[in-house]
Chains A and B, each alone.
Chain A
């Protein structure tokens, strides 16, 4: 098959080998040992399998792979090689074995990339398969010599998708209330996995982002290639955002904890978002009735507040009012501060409200959100012995209320 593809397409062998090497660099995906060690544990606790809903989480991502990189098909396989989710003209006979191979699909030559997730014992837990039309890859290569970068982009995206698969399965099992493994243990396993994969992805992602941004600065690049480069750049940025969100979400190790003013953290949050609010015609109101001090990691809680406030802004693209309030209260016999973030947007439908804190649940259009914003909020607030809930605002819109114990 390889010989056929080479002959029929008169492929430049050196270029082809360079692209293959780029893919192999990522395919090898040398996860750090702790991350590898965590894999069987995760797989064992995920025997429940991926529900229809869980599969649904993967499909938009796979479709993103098709659109952004011109792949003709994409699919996620489980350890046995059965397709969990697939898009495009996904062919029979995809293999969960690592590597890149040429196939004829519907009479057309396709470069099929398989990025597996395996543990130290070589046990396979899943794989992502992408089919890339060789003729298009060649065209791109002839014009700007960026095929290696494009393929590395694909492989980086694919490695991410496998990570998504694992996390989606975790959240699915959590939702089903599997009691065999405690939630914190599972999340720390995902955390180690995320940290390991994040490190492996940041390197190739750096090449992808750098190549595409530098190529965009070159003169005389034809318009279709500029469009392709811009798509690669945008997708690389999206992957970077996702990696950062995953790390924030999965980080379980406590950083330095210290007392700080809640209102001060909220003021800093608003300072970051006020320009965006003005741009959208959103009025910002603050009511600091609590004047409260809590103990915790200021930067993480601030991240949670930023996520809530920027979600509120996203709900009001053509104006409205963002209100941040603090008040003192009591929960479980303990004095608390309640932080409310209210918008005057369209509100959240009851069906979606139950799921807003689930990882990868998003109502935003593809590419806008990572689906981790509110999952991060919940994770951070729980880590601080707090609670977060969502309700309708009296005059329309949504209120998120974060309850945190006051400093003793």
Chain B
């Protein structure tokens, strides 16, 4: 694990999904903040710096794609990974053109999550 643990923002309206990501990422040594929606995500990103975010696509209110666009505007250095269920695979592909680092199709393997997250963090550390 890196000397300084990376900070990850989790955005998901589904409580179990959110708790699962917190549980999984903390198990692997990351520092995690979890919020239940796009509005809260923007507030959190305005208050502190995150290295990466994992954001659900289908959320009530501010949906995942809109949240992605605004997060990219507020915190351009933060890498955003989108997570999607079956019906929103196309949305997720589109979100890559809107600045998402990558996307994961649920239900994903823990190894795939950690792999994408590590690549996102490396990408974020490289000078532009």
Contacts and interface: CB of A to CB of B under 8 A. Distances in A.
Interface of A: 21-22, 25, 32, 148-149, 152, 195, 198-199, 202-211, 213-215, 217-218, 236, 240, 243, 247
Given A209-B107, A210-B21, A210-B24, A199 B85 contact: yes
Contacts of B107: 202, 205-206, 208-210, 236, 240
Contacts of B23: 210-211, 214-215
A22 B15 CA distance: 9
Nearest to A217: B27
Which secondary structure characterizes the binding site on chain A? helix
Given A206-B20, A240-B107, 7 more contacts: A25-B16, A152-B16, A210-B17, A210-B113, A213-B110, A214-B28, A243-B86
Interface of B: 14-17, 19-21, 23-24, 27-28, 83, 85-87, 105-110, 113
Nearest to A32: B87
Given A148-B16, A202-B106, A218 B87 contact: no
Contacts of A198: 86
Contacts of A240: 107
Contacts, number: 77
Contacts of A203: 14, 17, 85, 106
A25 B14 contact: yes
12 contacts: A195-B87, A202-B105, A202-B107, A206-B106, A206-B107, A210-B23, A210-B24, A213-B109, A214-B110, A215-B23, A215-B27, A243-B86
A194 B25 CA distance: 32
Contacts of A208: 107
Nearest to B21: A210
Of the listed residues A208, A209, A247, the one surrounded by the most CB atoms of chain B closer than 10 A to its CB is: A209
B27 A214 contact: yes
A22 B86 contact: no
A142 B19 CA distance: 18
Nearest to A218: B27
B86 A195 contact: yes
Contacts of B106: 202-203, 205-206
A211 B113 CA distance: 13
Contacts of A236: 107
Contacts of B27: 214-215, 217-218
A202 B86 contact: yes
B76 to A, nearest CB: 28
A192 to B, nearest CB: 12
Please list the 6 inter-chain residue pairs (A to B) with the smallest Cβ-Cβ separation, ordered nearest first.
A214-B24, A206-B106, A213-B110, A206-B107, A210-B20, A205-B107
A205 B83 CA distance: 13
A24 B110 CA distance: 25
